[in-house]
A and B are shown apart, each in its own frame.
Chain A
């Protein structure tokens, strides 16, 4: 196609009807030809932006073309200015240190979120390429990712980001066109490019919040490296980095739990394939990526606050519906048809609630993919051979939980790679395969999501942990401690048995943080370990953060919700099991241990509550470490409630973690058991009940 000048393009644009498909195609082709004639880089920022804009033009609905054509017009004008020298060529946002003045912040946020998703996908493809460099589809995935980011960034006026993406893309295009082979140097550069693009996105995000827009550190260096690589230098250095490292990544597309026979079989097969042939591995991963692509096209991005609002509204609807159904006026109407209609409406409302809840659920795939990358990098750093197997990454979990478990998982994986798995020679000496296995699985079990990290390393060292714990004064002796008790010690703050501190783990700030983070999302962490055979860490997490399983209790005239996960048992104490310890308040004797009693009515100043524990109930609650028995009047039943904050206006309320709308539309407060125990201790010292014979408290 002959080159079209900017003037001709501008003229074309003026006469163009956005609905005229042929005209638009012609215009797009003209722009492309013009940009192509200005060199691969597209020449100036305005031209890069123009190219990005017309790329989008073909992908948006007709209705939105008008806006893009307007954009294109502006870029053509700017390009003309650049050509005539009236506009400085370096008019890129990153050079100015600020976002373009006409930036649409919402659009920018969407771009950031979308680009991060794209990059996650690209990274997975890059890792796939490491084990299978001939996979054209993966090359294309990465190429498309960089290309999309380049185009959109240019459209949004993010010149520096767009230019960098261009360099990253150029390298990949050489690989795609088989001009250079995909070798380890190329892989390294691509992965670093992907990281750099993420850093660019971070700085754009920071700029939205008001910081200066600066290119990330090292962008220049990496750009010139990319340029040199694209210019052919890649061949010379290619063999240097071929080290002993082997990282095999398998994604087993087995749905369902680990106990699922088919899943286990598929996995065994896939594991065998690592040793046997790469061809089988392709077969195992092929269908997964194809399916994921299909799903991505069928999804819609919705702002989380809107989704939360929807869930709130549906929750309200459920309450409103149950109020109608339970209304005495309605129930007095002896009309079967009406009753049927109400039941029918109730069923729809409940289905709607299930549906709205499921909308927050996302698969763990993204989280697992990030860990795959981490394993690769750490294995390289430590010089260990690791086979990382993930299983059940299609298990769904609440969107909020995904963020909450990301950090703990990173810590766990680091620990396993650093301490768990032995170096190659040590493994061979103990008769194991030289390549260590790290298996990450996720599955549903009894209303929970279980995430399990299993290594076949050296296992936890009981003697070492015990010695360390005694040295640190955590325990006095190991007498009577089961293995499980000993393993729990590694969750103590500052605990580390690593002989030397590496930059990845061993600083002793790992496992206690993991435990705390997991408990914050009402999850549980368990360790199983066998010396010489490996360690399994299991996270048991609630399906969603939005819903709390709670026991509704009555204390005097007030009702409170106690999270079920904190409740151990409830009982009516016998008179002779109650006694008062001077200085330590009231205690109850249960199974030979004494447990402090917290009188909630006194702590919270509630009127009309039962004073005598024998006439009320004691609810034994714990936060994992400490226990107490809360005195309540009555259990009103178990409920699933949607936990809400009490509103920022109140700040934090000691002893209360939030509120929930109860069945009658009123707000019930959810108790924070850990804080109650704490409050009980401090308050207990304030108002110690004298050891009166009848234990009747003095009000």
Chain B
């Protein structure tokens, strides 16, 4: 592995990340796209939509959609727990909620500690992964949240990534 080369290639993604847990694994998303974090609210289901769309919530008078990130990534669904919460993100001007198992912390990950996304072969796109953050002895998959929410291939890709990781 050519360590130095990879550091140079991804260092522009260094910065503050909100890290969270999904199915026992740690992920991170850039803090700039995070609007706020909510405890679980009553969600109104929307009929005839894919399973990963949990429904809509009332965010202080605004109706915003909520996605189940586990289902979005093709992970098994679980019953919500005390620590489950909704991360409200702003993607291309639209607010959207993401249900995650647990929010961990806000941490700074230096560009030097980020490795480029691993390759799973041509069939598995990895463009929604900014890189792999390695700091304080922990490994976190850093997500490009814009792409996570817009790309349809994410589900398969993430499943493959989970298997490989």
Complex partner residue of B94 from A315, A649, A669, CB under 8 angstroms: A649
Complex partner residue of A648 from B55, B61, B94, CB under 8 angstroms: B94
B48 touches A654 (CB 8 A): yes
Of B10-18, B62-70, B112-120, B132-140, the one contacting chain A is B62-70
Residue of B nearest to A557 (CB): B45
Return the CB mask of B69-98 against A: 1 if under 8 Å, else 0: 000000000000000000000010111100
B62 touches A650 (CB 8 A): no
**Residues on the A chain within 8 Å of B149, using CB:** 649
A661 touches B46 (CB 8 A): no
Complex partner residue of B60 from A316, A605, A646, CB under 8 angstroms: A316
- B47 part of interface (Cβ distance < 8 Å): yes
In the bound complex, what is the Cα–Cα distance between A606 and B55 (angstroms)?
14
**Residues on the B chain within 8 Å of A603, using CB:** 47-48
- B165 part of interface (Cβ distance < 8 Å): no
Using A647-B96, A666-B58, A669-B44 as known contacts, say yes or no to A659 and B49 having CB atoms under 8 A apart.
no
Complex partner residue of B47 from A312, A656, A661, CB under 8 angstroms: A656
Rounded to whole Å, the gap between the CB of B63 and the closest CB of chain A is 4
Rounded to whole Å, the gap between the CB of B124 and the closest CB of chain A is 25
- B57 part of interface (Cβ distance < 8 Å): yes
- B53 part of interface (Cβ distance < 8 Å): yes
A650 touches B42 (CB 8 A): no
Rounded to whole Å, the gap between the CB of A666 and the closest CB of chain B is 5
Complex partner residue of B44 from A650, A654, A668, CB under 8 angstroms: A668
Return the CB mask of A103-119 against B: 1 if under 8 Å, else 0: 00000000000000000
In the bound complex, what is the Cα–Cα distance between A323 and B95 (angstroms)?
26
- The 4 residue pairs across chains A and B that have the minimum distance between CB atoms: A604-B47, A312-B61, A316-B61, A667-B44
Q: How many residues of B contact A (CB 8 A)?
A: 25
In the bound complex, what is the Cα–Cα distance between A577 and B21 (angstroms)?
56
- B56 part of interface (Cβ distance < 8 Å): yes
Rounded to whole Å, the gap between the CB of A651 and the closest CB of chain B is 9
Interchain Cβ contacts under 8 Å between A and B, 6 examples = A313-B61, A603-B48, A605-B48, A647-B65, A666-B44, A667-B58
Rounded to whole Å, the gap between the CB of A243 and the closest CB of chain B is 54
B48 touches A655 (CB 8 A): yes
A661 touches B48 (CB 8 A): no
In the bound complex, what is the Cα–Cα distance between A649 and B32 (angstroms)?
19
Complex partner residue of B48 from A646, A653, A659, A665, CB under 8 angstroms: A653
Return the CB mask of B12-55 against A: 1 if under 8 Å, else 0: 00000000000000000000000000000010111111000101
Dominant SS at the B interface? strand
- A645 part of interface (Cβ distance < 8 Å): yes
A646 touches B61 (CB 8 A): no
B44 touches A661 (CB 8 A): no
- A558 part of interface (Cβ distance < 8 Å): yes
- A644 part of interface (Cβ distance < 8 Å): yes
Rounded to whole Å, the gap between the CB of B76 and the closest CB of chain A is 20
| Contact size range, A | 20 to 34
**Residues on the A chain within 8 Å of B93, using CB:** 648
**Residues on the A chain within 8 Å of B65, using CB:** 646-647, 649-650
B47 touches A644 (CB 8 A): no
In the bound complex, what is the Cα–Cα distance between A114 and B112 (angstroms)?
53
B46 touches A606 (CB 8 A): no
**Residues on the A chain within 8 Å of B56, using CB:** 646-647, 650, 659, 667, 669
B58 touches A669 (CB 8 A): no
In the bound complex, what is the Cα–Cα distance between A668 and B45 (angstroms)?
9
B62 touches A646 (CB 8 A): no
In the bound complex, what is the Cα–Cα distance between A159 and B44 (angstroms)?
54
Rounded to whole Å, the gap between the CB of A149 and the closest CB of chain B is 33
B61 touches A666 (CB 8 A): no
- Candidate in A603, A650, A658, A666 with the most chain B CB atoms within 10 angstroms: A650
Return the CB mask of B121-150 against A: 1 if under 8 Å, else 0: 000000000000000000000000000010
**Residues on the B chain within 8 Å of A660, using CB:** 63
**Residues on the B chain within 8 Å of A558, using CB:** 44-45
In the bound complex, what is the Cα–Cα distance between A658 and B96 (angstroms)?
16
* 9 further interface pairs, Cβ-Cβ under 8 Å (given A558-B45, A654-B48, A667-B58): A604-B48, A646-B56, A647-B56, A650-B53, A659-B63, A665-B58, A667-B55, A667-B63, A669-B46
A661 touches B61 (CB 8 A): yes
Using A558-B45, A669-B44 as known contacts, say yes or no to A646 and B96 having CB atoms under 8 A apart.
no
Residue of B nearest to A603 (CB): B47
Complex partner residue of A649 from B48, B61, B96, CB under 8 angstroms: B96
A646 touches B94 (CB 8 A): no
A667 touches B48 (CB 8 A): no
**Residues on the B chain within 8 Å of A667, using CB:** 44, 55-58, 63
Rounded to whole Å, the gap between the CB of B101 and the closest CB of chain A is 21
A666 touches B62 (CB 8 A): no
**Residues on the A chain within 8 Å of B49, using CB:** 650, 653
In the bound complex, what is the Cα–Cα distance between A689 and B155 (angstroms)?
36
Using A661-B58, A667-B57 as known contacts, say yes or no to A646 and B63 having CB atoms under 8 A apart.
yes
In the bound complex, what is the Cα–Cα distance between A647 and B93 (angstroms)?
10
Rounded to whole Å, the gap between the CB of A653 and the closest CB of chain B is 6
In the bound complex, what is the Cα–Cα distance between A606 and B61 (angstroms)?
26
Rounded to whole Å, the gap between the CB of A524 and the closest CB of chain B is 27
**Residues on the A chain within 8 Å of B42, using CB:** 665-666
Residue of B nearest to A605 (CB): B47
In the bound complex, what is the Cα–Cα distance between A659 and B57 (angstroms)?
10
Rounded to whole Å, the gap between the CB of A618 and the closest CB of chain B is 19
Which A residues from 634 to 682 make CB contacts under 8 A with B? Answer: 644-650, 653-656, 658-661, 665-669
B95 touches A647 (CB 8 A): yes
Residue of A nearest to B150 (CB): A649
In the bound complex, what is the Cα–Cα distance between A285 and B125 (angstroms)?
70
In the bound complex, what is the Cα–Cα distance between A338 and B55 (angstroms)?
38
Rounded to whole Å, the gap between the CB of A658 and the closest CB of chain B is 8
A653 touches B45 (CB 8 A): no
